[in-house]
Amino acid sequence: MTSQSSETLGVLLSEGQIIPNMLATERWQAIEEIVSFLAEGGHLPKKEKENILAALFHREETMSTGIGFGVAIPHASSEAVDKIIVAFGRSQTGIEFESLDDKPVHFVVLFLVPSDQFQTHLKTLSAIAKFLNDRVTREALTNAHDAKDIMQILLREK
């Protein structure tokens, strides 16, 4: 299997993995909303949904993945996936995520990595955090009209 660690969010995502208007108001709901969306869209095996949620919830209980600046990056390793699975969700109203800066989250990038790809996991997490650390990028994502617009912004990722 080839490593996808050097690939950008724009490459790892498709419009079908973007939720432009999330309904969740708190972090557990947000994670469940995204995992359900991925399973319904055929990006995750439905039979593994509960195992995947358990892995994500376990990771989240260790420490919130709300990194600040309105961004959360819930992530986990899972034997249920054989490649990186990523989803992007945007909340206009904000999600209570117990973030490091105590501010609501507007962008959730959830990703799963195969259990045997620890380095890929770290590199993916780092790349996502670096990309969303840019204020101009976050403003563009806030102003995007739909999944297609969001996808165009993600494809411009450096």
Which amino acid type is present at position 19?
Answer: I
pTM of the entire structure? 0.92
Specify the pLDDT at position 2.
35
pLDDT 10s digit of each residue in the chain, 158 long?
333 334 578 888 999 999 999 999 999 999 999 999 999 999 999 999 999 999 999 999 999 899 999 999 999 999 999 999 999 999 999 999 999 999 999 999 999 999 998 888 888 888 888 889 999 999 999 999 999 999 999 888 64
Q: 7-36 burial, b if ≥16 CB within 10 A, otherwise e? A: bbbbebbeeebbbbebebeebeebbebbbe
Q: Among the options 43, 58, 75, 106, which is catalytic?
A: 75
Specify the pLDDT at position 111.
94
Q: Which fold has domain 17-155?
A: Mannitol-specific EII; Chain A (3.40.930)
Element (H, E) at 66: strand 66-68
SS (H, E, C) 128-154: HHHHHCCHHHHHHHHHCCCHHHHHHHH
75 in catalytic set: yes
Q: Where are the domains of the chain?
A: 17-155
Angle at 131 between CA 8 and CA 101, to 5 degrees: 140
